[in-house]
Structure 1
Amino acid sequence: MDFEFFFDPDQPDCPYLKEVEDDILSIVTENIRKTGKDNDRVNISVAHALRDGIVKTPWAAYFMGLAKRFLLALGIPSENQRFFEKLPDERAHYSAQTLDLEVRLDRWGWVEVAGFAYRTDYDLKSHMIASGTDMRVFRPYQKPIEKTTTVVKPNYQRLRAIFGNEAGRVGGLLASADPKKMADSPGPVELDGFVVPRDCFNLNQVTVKEAGTKFLPHVIEPSFGVERLLYATLEYSLKMNEDRIILSIPPKLAPVQAAIFPLLGKDGLPEKAMQVFTDLSREGLRIEYDEAGSIGRRYARADEAGIPIGITVDYDTLNDGTVTLRDRDTWKQLRRPTPDLPGIVRKIVEKGFQSIESEP
């Protein structure tokens, strides 16, 4: 999964850099690698990495900061993330700088899960050469400016005398030629097979108004390995609590946000639990209902499936309308009123179970 982000090389600043400029990146730089110490790294803020030239472009630095935050949100801690800079003979021929984002895995060691390549203008320049199409972008000035420039002015009287019927074609070649190259040529110039004497053209200085300029965009290419990220997320989420396996994925990622359990399968508890299930489902929440087996087995199944919240309907629910909320990771339990459940579930999914512990 990748995308190419195009930017103006003459105006390379990223307006969103402040969002991540204080975030710390752990980088195995090219200079460190040249000493043979691939396990060493420098810990440096995004802003300082850019200032010191460790990261060459503001947009690359911004995307690297976002990528680290993304991995943190997947549950992968900072100390097990690093950026690994490719040496010149390792990166692609079009890349001025490539940094891989790597994650430390128990079985495989450091594994690349993302990459950030500064491709300069290679892509569009190659398209221009192959297609003959001008792929430059027009950047308007705030107001037109006057510029003095050199233009080639053909002398058609001399051209007709020398080239006859081909005078028009030669004149067109002269008009589109590079004035600097023409000025640097001491004698006749050759254009598309025609040898043109110097007295067939003049180099004139003219003043023109320009509304803007054209530039060839440069490219930053962030790319991510979806399968590797999924594997890394699962590895860092699998935990043991006593003798139980828990899939402790971040609540925001959980396919099922909460499970509804009637304490027993009698005395109206399943009917009440199904009502809670229906109400929460209608709120757009991803809810599961389970009444098979003992309550302990149902808790264990939900923990293994990564469901962050267990909601138990018991006899007190029938009396006072409260339910038991159970945290997947800590097994803590709290009682809350059923009308408040939609907001409570959303808050836990967004901020974690601890966000509701201090609430009455």
Structure 2
Amino acid sequence: MSGVSAEALVELAKRRGFFLQSAGAYGGVSGFYTFGPQGAAMKRNVEDTWRERFAIQEGHMEVDAPTVLPEPVFEASGHLDGFDDMLVECPECGQSHRADHIVEDDPDTGIEEAESLAPERVEEVIAEYELACPTCGTGLAGQAIEQFNLMFETTIGPGSSSPGYLRPETAQGIFIEFPQLAEYARNQLPFGVTQIGRAYRNEISPRKSLLRVREFTQAELELFVDPDADDVPDLSAVADVTAQFYSADAQAEADGEPVEMTVGEAFDEGVVADPWIAYYLGVAAEWYAAIGVDMDRFRFRQHRPGELAHYSEDCWDAEGEVSDPGEDPDWIELGGFAYRADYDLSKHDAHSDEDFTVFKQYDEPVSVETPTVDPAMGYLGPEFGGAAGNVAAALEALAEDEPDAFDGEDVTVDVDGESYTVPVEKTGFAIEEVTESGEHITPHVVEPSLGIDRALYTALDHAYREDEVDGEERTYLELPPEVAPTTVGVFPLMDKDGLGERAREIAAELRTAGFSVAYDDSGAIGRRYRRQDEIGTPYCVTVDYDTLEDASVTIRDRDSTDQTRVAVADLDSTIESLVDGETTFDEL
């Protein structure tokens, strides 16, 4: 059977070396987790499959930016002012909690997404439903809700004159390098830049192990596109991918439900408006399925207007269901697919000394009428003294923005709060015809951003199985071979008569062939099988006395527990064929 409680999954993860709370010797630190040997291997495999699908197969670049960036970056991006959560403090025990989570966790409120509500409304709900502190049970009605910025602050170098922050997302490390990245792409749109790396958010109340942490790994793609071009993705590649789509309109309806449809249908029917978003929803659905997410417990949910981030025109979340057996569905965000428009590049263009545009070449040169001014400084100088230069600059800006202002005999400009009137004949205003070969444009950004830690947790949750083998209960993880931390376990039937030596030789040969191999000669063979089953190892190889006679071994399938004999000479190619899906175990 499938299904596991969060408590049981966390216990298995710690016992078998997937993940555990960090700094346990010092009482632990909330929101930080160490990936053990199995977890680190699985995490690396998940990252590699993401890199293969989103970077290599798509032909995108990959970068690795610093995790600490200077304060001006986050002033420009809006994180200093808008990257906040709602905090409420218990008057009795002093514990701080996310006010929106307290509202969402109480079933009587019927509110699933309190984050989109204004703090004043959250205060009203807490008072109306008499919600209490989760730690000590003291009522929170009347307690003020404060906005708490989630970024970790630091200083760059000695002293405090150069403040910096740990990045709350990997995206800004890409955006600030856009001028150089555009050169690498030869200024040809569209082009994509990917990155896998750590991000940091000082969560008010971390919870649910890997699902709400303060340090996590993101895999992000920033796709830079020309908003006015006809360049669109080939949706045929993912048109037949099926998933559950939960639109904002459906969420607004009392009985609205997710609808199962193909990506092609979702785009054609206007459920997903942007073709790039639709394309990457399809790519992501295939990727999630490939790493072991149960697509019956997966959906895409569109952000409602109140949920949209400050930079986003539209956004869809990939969500996975990780409820305890028998409990109401608990959907968690696994990734976001946002249309960020030109918000980020325009902000960094305005705040920095760099140009965050690309030059768009026209198919053919075009002639355009351009207003120009050539102020008579011999007039402006004596007339306006030290302000003459600023008046001339103001005339140039006015000619560009409002050429009609020069239709009369005089034109007036404002400089530092004062008005200056200049005869039009002294401005040198003229309309000139010039030939242009192109224009500078600010690209728009499409961003698929996926959480690696949550993807790993969801894959473990969805892979958990319990059954009975030979009258004994068994727990195993039905992980795809591509992401399982170990590909094959190698066991000698017993460590004597040369069996152990031959098994170690076979294990070494399989490692040389590129497989992740676990060698185990401790305990009964059945116990060794169970240990590998519980960490998701898809195949186990047993070396017995027949191996010494006919150079064959027993290979065992994790899911079915079926076994068959394979020649040692064919072992690596057989396992490779099984891992790649070219052969099924039944066919052996």
Q: Normalised by the size of structure 2, how large is the TM-score?
A: 0.56
**How many Å apart are 1:304 and its aligned residue?**
1.3
Match of 2:434 in 1: 208
Q: Which of 271, 280, 283 is the equivalent residue of 1:54? A: 271
**Mean Cα displacement is larger for which, 7-16 or 231-240?**
7-16
Letter in 2 for 1:230: L
Match of 1:327 in 2: 557
| In 1: Cα distance, 2:271 partner to 2:422 partner | 51
Letter in 1 for 2:254: G
Match of 1:355 in 2: 584
Match of 1:226 in 2: 452
Please tell me whether the aligned partners of residues 395 and 413 of structure 2 are also in contact (alpha carbons under 8 angstroms): no
Q: Which of 88, 105, 114 is the equivalent residue of 2:305? A: 88
| In 2: Cα distance, 1:306 partner to 1:180 partner | 65
| In 1: Cα distance, 2:266 partner to 2:424 partner | 53
Q: Which of 18, 25, 41 is the equivalent residue of 2:258? A: 41
Instruction: Report the 3-state secondary structure (helix = DSSP H, G, I; strand = E; otherwise coil) of the residue aligned with 1:188.
Output: strand
Q: Which of 119, 135, 139 is the equivalent residue of 2:360? A: 139
Superposed CA offset, 1:273-306 (max 9, x none) = 2221222222222112112222222212221121
| In 2: Cα distance, 1:12 partner to 1:244 partner | 55
Q: Which has the larger radius of gyration?
A: 1
Please tell me whether the aligned partners of residues 154 and 174 of structure 1 are also in contact (alpha carbons under 8 angstroms): no
Letter in 2 for 1:288: A
Match of 1:189 in 2: 412
| In 2: Cα distance, 1:215 partner to 1:285 partner | 48
**How many Å apart are 1:170 and its aligned residue?**
3.6
**How many Å apart are 1:134 and its aligned residue?**
3.5
Match of 1:340 in 2: 570
**Mean Cα displacement is larger for which, 170-179 or 20-29?**
170-179
**Mean Cα displacement is larger for which, 86-95 or 167-176?**
167-176
Please tell me whether the aligned partners of residues 159 and 167 of structure 1 are also in contact (alpha carbons under 8 angstroms): yes
Please tell me whether the aligned partners of residues 17 and 58 of structure 1 are also in contact (alpha carbons under 8 angstroms): yes
| In 1: Cα distance, 2:503 partner to 2:381 partner | 97
Letter in 1 for 2:248: E
Match of 2:247 in 1: 29
Letter in 1 for 2:242: I
Match of 1:252 in 2: 482
Instruction: Report the 3-state secondary structure (helix = DSSP H, G, I; strand = E; otherwise coil) of the residue aligned with 2:305.
Output: coil
Please tell me whether the aligned partners of residues 308 and 314 of structure 2 are also in contact (alpha carbons under 8 angstroms): yes
Structure 2 gaps, min length 5 = 1-217
Letter in 1 for 2:225: F
| In 2: Cα distance, 1:11 partner to 1:226 partner | 33
Please tell me whether the aligned partners of residues 158 and 199 of structure 1 are also in contact (alpha carbons under 8 angstroms): no
Please tell me whether the aligned partners of residues 540 and 556 of structure 2 are also in contact (alpha carbons under 8 angstroms): yes
**CA root-mean-square deviation:** 2.5
Instruction: Report the 3-state secondary structure (helix = DSSP H, G, I; strand = E; otherwise coil) of the residue aligned with 1:252.
Output: coil
| In 2: Cα distance, 1:200 partner to 1:56 partner | 52
Structure 1 gaps, min length 5 = none
Instruction: Report the 3-state secondary structure (helix = DSSP H, G, I; strand = E; otherwise coil) of the residue aligned with 2:306.
Output: coil
% identity of equivalent residues: 35
| In 2: Cα distance, 1:313 partner to 1:88 partner | 61
Instruction: Report the 3-state secondary structure (helix = DSSP H, G, I; strand = E; otherwise coil) of the residue aligned with 1:26.
Output: strand
| In 2: Cα distance, 1:241 partner to 1:308 partner | 16
Please tell me whether the aligned partners of residues 366 and 437 of structure 2 are also in contact (alpha carbons under 8 angstroms): no
Letter in 2 for 1:329: D
| In 1: Cα distance, 2:400 partner to 2:484 partner | 65
